[in-house]
Chain A
Amino acid sequence: MKQLLQLSAVTKSFGAVQALKGISFDLQAGEVHALLGENGAGKSTLIKIITGAHQPDGGTIEIAGERVEKLSPVAAHKLGIACIYQQPALFPDLTVAENIGLRLEGANSLSRVDWNSRRNQAQKLLRRIGADISPDAEVRSLSMPEQQLVEIACALGAGARIVIMDEPTASLTQKETGLLFAVILDLRSSGAGVIYISHRLEEIFQLADRVTVLRDGESVGTRNVCRSRGDETQTSQSESDKRLLTSSPTLTESELIRMMVGREISQIFPPAQSAPGETVLSLKNLGCTAGGVKNVSLDVRAGEILSLAGLVGAGRTELARTIFGITPADAGEIILRGEKVEIHSPQEAVARGIAYVPEDRRRHGVILEMPVAQNMTMGIHRRIFPGTWLRFGAERACALDFIRQLDVRAYGPEAPGHSLSGGNQQKVSLARWLATKPKVLILDEPTQGVDVGAKSEIHKIIRRLAKDGLAVLMISSDLPEILGMSDRIAVMRGGTIAATLPGKSGAHEVMSAALGQKGAGK
C-alpha cells in the first residue's frame, strides 16, 4: 500500500488560540479516510494546511513519501491535492466548460484556448461522474448540488490523487448523494485517497475505511470502520478490505459521538407532543408563479412540528418564501388564525406573527459585522425601544436572556456575529425571530452544517417552542431529523404537496413520496 500523505505532529496557532495541538494524520492510496469532529475541533484548519492555505507552525508534511517544506495552494495543486468545499468556489459568470478548463489549463495564461477540446473534456468528465449538466450552462444558473458536481469534475480532471471533500452532501438529495458516493468509490478504486468530512455519521459508516476523530485541536484516535455496505465491495476487493476483516471490535455510532464530544450524548430526539391545539396557519391552494409553488394546501396547528420533506428543488424553500412574503403568493389563500390575510412583504409577515429563519444563515440569518445583541433585537425595535430611542440596557438584558435561554456560546452580547461558530450563529438567528414573539415559526434547514452537540440542543429548543404553543413548520433535508422531530410530515414534489404523512412514518415512505413512486402517501 502506498502512503499518499503523512502529517506528523502538526501544530498551528492563531494569536492566542491553538487550533491544532500536534496532530498526526495519514492517508493511504485507495482509501476513504473520514475526518470527524465538532465545529471548532480543528478540521478546517487541518484541511487548510493540507491545501497550503495555512502554513503550520510546527510538524512535518510528507506527500507521497517526500517531505514538503513549504506548501502553497499552487504547490498543493501541482502535487495533486484537490479540495471540494461546502460552498463551491466556481466563477458564476463563466460556463461549466470554462470553469473546468480554467482548472485544467491555467499553467500558461498566454496560450491559445482550444474551445473544442476544452468543451469535450468537460463533457467527458461530467459524464464520468454521471452528472447531467450541459458544459455550456452558466454556473450561476446551476443549483448548489450541480455546482458541487462541477467542482468534483474539476478535481477529477486535474488528476487529483488526494481529494478532500468538506461536507459534500450537506445540500444534496438522496439520489445525488448516491451519485456522489459512486464517484468517491470510483476514485478510491482508481488508487486516489479521499479525505471525507461530514456530520452525517451514517455516511461515514457507508463510505469510510478509516475515521479520525478530532477534538479541541487534538486527534482523539483513528479507527477502522466496518462498512455497512456489503455487496458492492466484492468486485473491487483490495488490501483495504482485508484490513477491514481484521479490524478491531466493531465501531458504533455512539462510540464515535462519545469520541467527538468526550461524553455520551443521546441521539434520541425529544419526545413528540401528544395533543396539538387549534389550527394557526392554513394554506388553501396557495400558488406563486415566480417561485414555482402551486396548489399547496396545508394546515399547521399550535404546538405541532410539521416538517416539509422533499428533494432539493421540490419547492420547500420557495413555499416558505411565499408564506413569508418574499415572493408573494399570486393564487390561493393564506388563513392565519381564522382570518384571511394577504402578505406582500416580510414586514407584513412579521407584523402578523410569522417568523422565518432562513436557510443560508451565513449570508442572511446573522449580520456578521454586528454584535450578537444588535442581531437579536433587529426585528423588535418597535417593541423594546418605545419612542425609538435605543436603550442599550434593555437591549443587553434581552440579549443576555436569549443567550441563557438558548445557551449561545459567545463571549458576550457585544461579540460580533462572525466570531461565533455555525451552531451558535443559528441560535442567534433563532433568537432574533423568537424575540418577535411569533405564532408561526418557519425553520429552513435549522441544523445544516451544525455539529452534533449543537444539533441536539437546537432540536430540544424547537420541541420546547412547540410545547409552548408555537406552530412550527420545519424544512429539512436530514431524513433522521425529519423522522425524529415531526408530528406530521408533508412531502413536497414539483412545487406542491405530494403527501402528508404521520410523524411516525418510516424513511421509506417519505422517500418514495418525495421521489414520486406509486403507492406513496397511502
Chain B
Amino acid sequence: MNKYFREFSAAAALGILLLALAIFAPSFFQPQPLLSLATREAPTLVVACGMALVIICRQIDISVGSQFAVCSVCAGLLAAMHWPLALVLATTILIGTTFGAFNGALVAGLGLPSIVVTLATMVTWREGLRWLRQGVWVDLPNGVQWFGLPQMTGQWTLVLVALAILILLALTLKHISIGRFVYAVGSDAEAARLAGIRPRMMTFGVFVFMGALTGLAAMMNTIQSPQVDPNSGTGLELKTIAAVVVGGVAISGGRGTLWGVFTGLLLLACISPALTHLHVEAFWGKAIQGATILLAVVADGVRTRKQRY
C-alpha cells in the first residue's frame, strides 16, 4: 500500500467536499468569507504543527488550550499597558515556552506519561487563570487589533505567518537531522538512544517548541479582536489533535507529515461553514467532525492490522 495513503485520502476527502461545494453552493467561494475563515484557523494551524511534532515523538499535549488562554490574557494585559507590540509578542512566546518547558521537564526529566502530566497542567492553568482573573475580558487599546494595519493586510499577515511556519517545519522534518530524529525517537526511543540520539532531549525539545508555538498562536489570536476572551482556546487541544490524526499522523508515533496535518485541518475547518452553505443544520457539524476523526482512526487500525501479517 502506498506510503502516503493516509495523506492522499485526507486530500481526497477535502477535494470531494470542495467539489460538492462548487456544485451545490458556489457562494462558499467568495474571497472575503474565505479569508476570514483562513484567518480564524491560522492560530489553530500553528498549534497543530506543534502538536504534530509532539505526537510524532510519541507524546501528547492536551494542555495547549489552557496555555493558549493564559498566553492570550497575558498578551492582552501587556498590550493594555501600552508595551510595544514586538515586545508583547516576544514575551507571549516566552511565556508559552516556559509552559512547554514545564511539561517537557516532567515528561522527559521524570519520565512521567505525557497524557497525565498535560491533563494536570491543562486543569491547573485554566482554573488558575479563572481564579486570578474572575473571567474578566481584557479590553485592548487602539492600534493593537491587526497590529494597527488595515484589516485586510492584518488578515493576510496572519495567514502568511501560519503558512510560513508550516513550510519551515515541514522542511525541517524532512530535511534537517533533528527532524529525522523526532521520527526515530517516536518509533523506538531505545533504538534511537543506542544510535547516539538523546531521546529525552528530543522529547523535552518538542514540548518546549509546542509551548513557543502556542504562545505565538495566542498572539495571533489576540490581535484579531478588540477584546481578549479569558476562555479562548477552549477545545483547542481536541481541534488540533483531530487535525493531526485526520491528517495521517500515527497516534503511536513515528509516522506522519505536516502536509497531511494541513490537509486534515483544512478538511475539519471547512466542514462547519460548508454545512451552512449547503443548508444543513449547523449542529450536524460537530457530529460530522467526530465521524471524520473516527474514520481516520479506523483507517489507521486497518492499515496496521494489514502490516502485521
Residues of A within 8 A of B (CB): 14, 326, 345-347, 350, 356, 358, 363-370, 374, 378-379, 381-382, 385, 388-390, 418, 432, 436
Contacts and interface: CB of A to CB of B under 8 A. Distances in A.
A378 B175 contact: no
Interface string B178-204: 101101100110111111111000000
Contact of B196 (A346, A364, A390): A346
6 contacts: A14-B309, A370-B187, A378-B197, A388-B176, A389-B176, A390-B176
Interface residues of B, number: 24
Given A381-B180, A390-B180, A364 B194 contact: yes
B184 A379 contact: no
Contact of A378 (B174, B190, B195, B254): B195
B184 A367 contact: yes
Nearest to A356: B194
Interface centre among A346, A358, A382 (most CB of B within 10 A): A346
B180 A389 contact: no
A347 B188 CA distance: 17
Contacts of B40: none
B188 A389 contact: no
Given A367-B188, A369-B255, A370-B184, A385 B177 contact: yes
B175 A389 contact: yes
Contacts of B134: none
Given A14-B309, A364-B191, A378-B184, 11 more contacts: A346-B195, A364-B190, A365-B191, A367-B188, A374-B180, A378-B196, A378-B197, A379-B196, A388-B176, A390-B175, A436-B196
Contacts of B2: none
Contacts, number: 66
Contacts of B309: 14
B195 A363 contact: no
A390 B197 contact: no
Contacts of B30: none
A388 B172 CA distance: 10
A363 B190 contact: yes
A382 B176 CA distance: 11
| B interface: dominant SS | helix
Sort A-B residue pairs by CB-CB distance and give the 4 closest, nearest first. A381-B177, A350-B196, A378-B195, A364-B191
B32 interface: no
Nearest to A14: B309
Contacts of A381: 177, 180-181
Nearest to A358: B194
Nearest to B177: A381
Contacts of A326: 193-194
Given A358-B194, A364-B191, A418-B307, A370 B174 contact: no
B177 A388 contact: yes
Contacts of B190: 363-364
A363 B191 contact: yes
A346 B194 contact: yes
B195 A370 contact: no
B196 A368 contact: no
A366 B194 CA distance: 10
Given A346-B194, A369-B254, A364 B188 contact: yes
A368 B188 CA distance: 8
Contacts of A14: 309
Nearest to A432: B195
